[in-house]
């Protein structure tokens, strides 16, 4: 007999969803469902510890979120995921599909992604926007750094477009594992992935750096990205709103980076800079 699940529904600013998922996964939550109001997290009921759950969320201002708890019947997550998946199509340039779908040859590139718990399925505006910046870029022979790689989607696409190598970094261990899995699904040779943050970037220079993270991390790490760019190298930033754009641009300018172009979707921005 299957164990019942405990569903914890959290209403919160959408920019906080990823980090909430990261912290809840440390106390046993195994499945997550993003909602219009925030996120729902699921755990086997015998493993649910309300005190540990609230401790995991203690980094948040208690007034900034609401939480409700409900015990529910077991669910077939794989079946639900497969039934609800919508393929991502970015112009005629790139399609993003799971491993149980067949590729459409009318697209220039196909990336296969089974996301597990990692961010970067292409369903989010920021991922699509970075891919649109990539569409206009000649990747051939380039050495690339992918910060906050998530599912590895951007690095995998870069290799398919002709990049020579990708060094990927993510703070979450499951993202590292998922990038490795998706690299194998795409037979994409040339990606090395590690668990870490900006201080763990190797002491070398890159032709192009992707950083699709969030405003606070970007403002903290843009100086490191600029330092690891080759002369005339480019930096693609995303994970911030239009109202945050002036602050991102100003810091980038202070680091010797020139603004080139931008893509906006639903108030989310991806911006390209050149050193």
Secondary structure of the chain as H, E, C letters: CCCCEEEEEEECCHHHHHHHHHHHHCCCCCEEEECCCEEEEEEEHHHCCHHHHHHHCCCCCHHHCEEEEEEECCCCHHHHHHHHCCCEEECCCEEEECCCCCCCCCCCEEEECCCCCCCCCCCCHHHHHHHHHHHCCCCCCCEEEEECCCCCHHHHHHHHCCCCEEEEEECCHHHHHHHHHHHHHCCCCCEEEEECCHHHCCCCCEEEEEEECCHHHHHHHHHHHHHCEEEEEEEEEEEEEHHHHHHHHHHHHHCCCEEEEEEEECCEEEEEEEC
Are 164 and 190 in contact by the 8 Å Cβ rule? The answer is yes
Q: Classify domain 126-274 at the CATH superfamily level.
A: Vaccinia Virus protein VP39 (3.40.50.150)
Residue with tokens 């693609």: 236
Q: What topology is assigned to 5-80 in CATH?
A: Alpha-Beta Plaits (3.30.70)
Domain boundaries, given as residue ranges, for the chain: 5-80, 126-274
Radius of gyration of the chain (CA): 19
- According to DSSP, the β-strands at 66-72 and 5-11 are antiparallel
pLDDT band at 97 (very low <50, low <70, confident <90, very high): confident
Is the predicted pLDDT of residue 168 greater than 90, yes or no? yes
- More reliable by pLDDT, 3 or 193: 193
Report how far residue 49's alpha carbon sits from residue 29's, in angstroms, rounded to the nearest whole number: 10
Please give the Cα distance from 146 to 225 (Å, whole number): 10
For residues 40 and 10, is the Cβ–Cβ distance under 8 A?
A: yes
What's the CA gap between 249 and 264, in Å, rounded?
A: 15
pLDDT surpassing 90 at residue 29: no
Is residue 55 very low, low, confident or very high in pLDDT (cuts 50, 70, 90)? very high
Percent of the chain's residues with pLDDT above 90 = 53
pLDDT at 255: 97
| pLDDT at site 75 | 63
Q: Give percent above pLDDT 70 in the chain.
A: 92
Q: Which two tokens stand for residue 19?
A: 């980090």
- Joined together, the tokens standing for residue 126 give 């920021």
Phi-psi label, residue 101: left if phi above 0, alpha if psi -120 to 50, beta otherwise: beta
Tell me the pLDDT tens digit for each residue of 203-252: 999 999 999 988 888 999 999 999 999 999 999 999 888 999 999 999 99
Average pLDDT, the chain: 88
Is residue 82 over pLDDT 70?
A: no
pTM to 2 decimal places:
0.74
Q: Is 60 exceeded by the pLDDT of residue 1?
A: no
Q: Please report the pLDDT score of residue 10 as a whole number.
A: 94
The rounded distance, in Å, linking the Cα atoms of 270 and 275 is 17
């Amino acid at each position: 007999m299957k164990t019942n699940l405990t569903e914890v529904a959290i209403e919160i600013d959408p920019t906080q969803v990823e980090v909430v998922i990261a912290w809840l996964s440390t106390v046993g939550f195994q499945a997550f469902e993003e909602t219009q109001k925030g996120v729902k997290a699921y755990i086997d009921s015998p493993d649910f510890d309300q005190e540990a759950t609230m401790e995991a969320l203690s980094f948040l201002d208690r007034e900034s979120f609401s939480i409700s708890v409900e015990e529910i019947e077991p669910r077939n997550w794989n079946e639900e995921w497969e039934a609800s998946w919508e393929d991502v199509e970015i112009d005629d340039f790139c399609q993003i599909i799971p491993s149980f779908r067949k590729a459409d040859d009318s697209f220039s590139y196909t990336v296969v992604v089974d996301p597990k718990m990692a961010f970067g399925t292409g369903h989010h505006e920021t991922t699509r926007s970075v891919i649109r910046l990539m569409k206009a870029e000649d990747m051939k022979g380039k050495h690339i750094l992918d910060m906050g790689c998530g599912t590895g989607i951007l690095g995998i696409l870069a290799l398919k477009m002709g990049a020579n190598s990708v060094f990927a970094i993510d703070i979450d261990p499951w993202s590292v594992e998922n990038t490795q899995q998706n690299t194998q699904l795409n037979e994409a040779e040339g990606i090395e992935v590690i668990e870490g943050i900006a201080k763990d970037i190797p002491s070398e220079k890159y032709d192009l750096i992707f950083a699709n993270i969030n405003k606070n991390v970007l403002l903290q790490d843009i100086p490191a990205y600029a330092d690891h760019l080759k002369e005339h190298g480019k930096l693609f930033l995303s994970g911030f709103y239009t109202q945050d754009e002036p602050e991102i641009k100003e810091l980038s300018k202070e680091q010797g980076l020139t603004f080139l172009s931008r893509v906006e979707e639903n108030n989310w921005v991806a911006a390209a800079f050149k050193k």
